[in-house]
Structure 1
Amino acid sequence: MGRGTRRSRLVIVALLIIAFTLITLDYRTGRSATGARGVLHSIFGGVENGVTTVTRPIGRTASSLTHPNRYHDRADRLAEENARLRRQIADDTEIGRMSTELADLRLLADKGQYTIVPAKVIAVGDVTGTDWTVTINAGRADGIVVDKTVLNADGLVGTVSGVTEHTAIVRLACDPGSHIGARLERTQLLGAVAGGQGPGTLTFTLYDASYRVQKGDRLVTFGSLDYVAGVPIGMVTKVTDVDGLSRTAEVKPYASVGTLDLVGVVVGKPPADPGDRVLTPRPVPTEPAASVPPTASVPPAPLSPTAGSPVGGSLAGAASGVGGGAG
């Protein structure tokens, strides 16, 4: 048994040596089988193919180890292509969003007949609660000067407080030093809104103390030397105590400071006060359906009376009376 096992091992080793020799010849001289090599190939071709099948993955692994940059470069190219496609999708999304904002801003300007210069917020100033400002990328070269009204697609943003050649500083309506003339919707009652309570709340003071401000009242700017008329400001959310001379209320502004991006600086006033035209129309209240009164229950008909009974006589008389009237 030991001698036979040794002989089998020698045969396997010899076959492997011949197979590797044929593989080497194939790589160097091609697959043409001529002469003694062709005879050997025909005899041991099966062994060669089997060994090649086994050794091919090993060769590929060795090639990847000896040329690692080939696969790393491919991975880098795929990563760069993926990043480029992501940037393109993000750019397309941003372009679409900006186009929508610009269209909404133009729509508001057309309603009020304002001449505006569109601008983008490029920096936020000190927003510690004592100074609320933003910087936009339009300035003196674009016709912007101090005290111009600034709005966005939702309503009043603030006023220009400083200008350079190509930038401007906008004092937001919620700034503690901001005081803007306001008018109640559908009335000529005037007052002023002021900041100081944070970015989401303005304080409205009505000059006429005889009028009661109500929750849900809406405010727009009234025309002055510094402000254009008709720009939506916000809605009354809470009425505070009367101080004896005027009424005050808390107002939620339409323009959100936290999402400011595209704004418009009004460089040309409308030919006439737009009134409340720029405000979003209020929804028409739907009238409740008319209630149908419940049907009165009808008592069951009485049984036919017998002849000579009082009920029968009275019914007969009523019937003859109706008949006589008709005649």
Structure 2
Amino acid sequence: MGRDTRRSRIVVLVLLVVAFILITVDYRSSDSSSGARGMLRGAFGGVEDAVSTVTRPIGRTVSSLTHPNRYRQRADALAAENAQLRRQVADDAEVRRQAAALVSLRLLADKGQYMIVPARVIAVGDVTGTDWTVTVNAGSDNGVAPDKLVINSDGLVGTVLSVTAHTSVVRLACDPASHIGARLESTRLLGAVSGGGGPDVLTFTLYDASHQMKVGDRLVTFGSLDYAAGVPIGVVAKVLDAGGGLSRSVEITTFASMGSLDMVGVIVGKPVSDPGDRVLTPLPAPPSPAPSSAAPSQAPSPAPSQAGPSGPAQISPVPALAPAATAGTG
């Protein structure tokens, strides 16, 4: 038995030596079918493949142990590449969003024939309730001047308070110190909107106390020497008084959301003529009345009178209603 074990060891040793010889010849020879390497491969090719199959995983394991940072560096490189691709996708989405906002702003300016300077909000001022301002990245070098109206794609944002060469401070319409002339849609009734009620809430005071306003009425700017006319402001959300004084006041919900401003436009050129209400989004048409298909199932109607010469018979009123009404008033 000892002889068999010794013989097995010798055979394994010989096979290992042959395998390493073949590997050495394989690296040094460019022709795999000629010379000594071809002869050896023909004789011990199967043995070489078997030994290589056994030793290859061992070699890889030893390589990973001797170079522990190789795979970690590869993983870090792939993670960095993935993060870069994610940033690129996010940047592309942001560019598309800004382009869409600019297109919407341009469409509103075209409706009112306003000349605007596009700008982005780069800073927010004190918004504690006593001062509502933002800073935009356009200034006097772009033609911006104080007291110009500022809009976004939804409507009025505020007015320019101060400017530098490259930036401007905008007083939002909801600022308590903001007062802008306005008028009701489809009328020439004038008033003023002022802030102080919250980020998206204004108060509109109508100068003519004889006119009543209702929820749903819309407002636009009236226009002045500095302010452009016809800019959408907001819609009446609540009537604040019953009209006992010299003016009427209502609460306005602004079209523009003051808390999420980004892309805005400073109106640096007013239209030649007042745009009126054309910048406002058209109101949806009222629903058409339902057809009177339930008439046959209603209670029996009074007997019709005789047909006259000009048309078919008409429904006569209930005779008992008129005397009862007369008696009640006497």
- Same fold at TM > 0.5: yes
Please state how far the C-alpha of 1:256 moved relative to its aligned partner: 0.8
User: 2:289 matched to which residue of 1?
Assistant: 288
Confirm or deny: 8 A CA contact 1:220 1:231 kept in the other structure.
Answer: yes
Please state how far the C-alpha of 1:2 moved relative to its aligned partner: 5.4
Could you list the runs of 5+ residues in structure 1 that have no partner in the other structure?
297-327
When residues 108 and 39 of structure 1 are mapped into structure 2, their CA distance, relative to the original with a 3 A threshold, is closer
User: 1:212 matched to which residue of 2?
Assistant: 212
User: 2:188 matched to which residue of 1?
Assistant: 188
User: 2:168 matched to which residue of 1?
Assistant: 168
Please state how far the C-alpha of 1:241 moved relative to its aligned partner: 2.9
Return the index of the structure with the highest Cα Rg: 1
Q: Which moved more, 1:172-181 or 1:73-82?
A: 73-82
> Helix, strand or coil: the match of 1:20?
helix
Please state how far the C-alpha of 1:69 moved relative to its aligned partner: 6.3
User: 1:241 matched to which residue of 2?
Assistant: 241
User: 1:300 matched to which residue of 2?
Assistant: none
What is the percent sequence identity of the aligned residues?
68
> Helix, strand or coil: the match of 2:291?
coil
User: 2:115 matched to which residue of 1?
Assistant: 115
* Separation of aligned partners in 2, 1:38 and 1:272: 97
When residues 42 and 114 of structure 1 are mapped into structure 2, their CA distance, relative to the original with a 3 A threshold, is closer
* Separation of aligned partners in 2, 1:221 and 1:41: 94
Please state how far the C-alpha of 1:81 moved relative to its aligned partner: 4.3
> Helix, strand or coil: the match of 2:296?
coil
* Separation of aligned partners in 2, 1:178 and 1:38: 95
When residues 202 and 55 of structure 1 are mapped into structure 2, their CA distance, relative to the original with a 3 A threshold, is same
Count of matched residue positions in the alignment of Structure 1 and Structure 2: 296
Residues 67-113 of structure 1: per-residue CA shift (max 9 Å, x gap): 56665565555445444443443333233222222222122112222
Please state how far the C-alpha of 1:231 moved relative to its aligned partner: 0.8
Q: Which amino acid aligns with 2:296?
A: P
Please state how far the C-alpha of 1:38 moved relative to its aligned partner: 6.7
When residues 277 and 83 of structure 1 are mapped into structure 2, their CA distance, relative to the original with a 3 A threshold, is same
What do you get for the CA RMSD once the two structures are aligned? 2.8
* Separation of aligned partners in 1, 2:121 and 2:257: 13
Confirm or deny: 8 A CA contact 1:33 1:41 kept in the other structure.
Answer: no
User: 2:255 matched to which residue of 1?
Assistant: 254
User: 1:45 matched to which residue of 2?
Assistant: 45
Please state how far the C-alpha of 1:178 moved relative to its aligned partner: 1.0
TM-score (norm 2): 0.79
> Helix, strand or coil: the match of 2:204?
strand
Q: In the alignment, is residue 130 of structure 1 matched against residue 104 of structure 2?
A: no
Could you list the runs of 5+ residues in structure 2 that have no partner in the other structure?
299-330
Q: Which moved more, 1:264-273 or 1:146-155?
A: 264-273
* Separation of aligned partners in 1, 2:56 and 2:34: 21
User: 1:307 matched to which residue of 2?
Assistant: none
Please state how far the C-alpha of 1:53 moved relative to its aligned partner: 1.3
Q: Which amino acid aligns with 2:287?
A: T
* Separation of aligned partners in 2, 1:117 and 1:38: 81
When residues 110 and 39 of structure 1 are mapped into structure 2, their CA distance, relative to the original with a 3 A threshold, is closer
Q: Which amino acid aligns with 2:209?
A: A
* Separation of aligned partners in 2, 1:155 and 1:282: 16
Residues 105-126 of structure 1: per-residue CA shift (max 9 Å, x gap): 1221122222211111111111
Please state how far the C-alpha of 1:159 moved relative to its aligned partner: 0.2
* Separation of aligned partners in 1, 2:242 and 2:49: 101
Please state how far the C-alpha of 1:140 moved relative to its aligned partner: 1.0
Residues 236-285 of structure 1: per-residue CA shift (max 9 Å, x gap): 11112336212222111001112211111111222222221111100011
* Separation of aligned partners in 2, 1:137 and 1:38: 77
TM-score (norm 1): 0.80
User: 1:27 matched to which residue of 2?
Assistant: 27
